Structure 1
Amino acid sequence: MMDVLYFAWVRERIGLPRETVETRAETVRDLVDELRRREGRYDLAFSDTRALRVAVDQELCDFDAPLAGAREVAFFPPMTGG
């Protein structure tokens, strides 16, 4: 089991700020594929992963990052600083 957090427009499209999921995904990309197969709202939210950033256990990573031992995955749009 792992917590999946959604921020900004990702949260708006899915309709949840977070959820706990049971997954066999080996990478973030595998997790996204599993989520997209759930329902249309997930498919829409993850239709263009180039527009998303991801963190595993609060560390920025890419979609090929392994999930072994991960407790949390967060999806969010790119942020700009100032």
Structure 2
Amino acid sequence: MKIKLRFFASVRETLDLSQEETEMPADVTTVGAVRTHLAARGGVWAEALAPDRSLRMAYNQIMCGPQVRLTEGCEVAFFPPVTGG
């Protein structure tokens, strides 16, 4: 399934990346599974998306929990709890 990823604030700074379109494996079916899958890339990915790091997530620009199911072409965003502008 192809999805769009967006990264904001300190997550974006750590990854040096603001967005990416990627194909998710068939077993990655929820927003939480996306986080786990990306963290498994290691390095800065593991640092930015570590399970013990407090992060907010959004699905198609709506705040969500890790259990929200993905759909083809959806947007998943990650950002710290407080984001300045």
TM-score, length of structure 1 as denominator length: 0.85
Q: Which letter maps to 1:44?
A: E
Distance 1:49 1:61, change over 3 A: farther
Residue 17 (1) aligns with residue 18 (2)? yes
Question: Identity over aligned residues, as a percent?
Answer: 36
Q: How far is 1:63 from its partner? A: 1.2
Say which structure is richer in helix: 1
Q: How far is 1:68 from its partner? A: 2.8
Q: Which string of whole-angstrom CA distances, capped at 9 and with x for unpartnered residues, describes residues 4-40 of structure 1?
A: 0000000011110000111031111111111111131
Q: How far is 1:48 from its partner? A: 4.0
Residue 46 (1) aligns with residue 49 (2)? yes
Q: Name structure 1 gaps, 5 residues minimum.
A: none
**CA RMSD across the alignment:** 1.7
Residue 64 (1) aligns with residue 79 (2)? no
TM-score, length of structure 2 as denominator length: 0.83
* Over 3 Å off, 4+ runs: none
Distance 1:34 1:48, change over 3 A: closer
| Matched residue, 2:35 | 32
Q: Count residues in correspondence.
A: 80
Deviates more, 1:3-12 or 1:38-47: 38-47
Q: Which letter maps to 1:6?
A: F
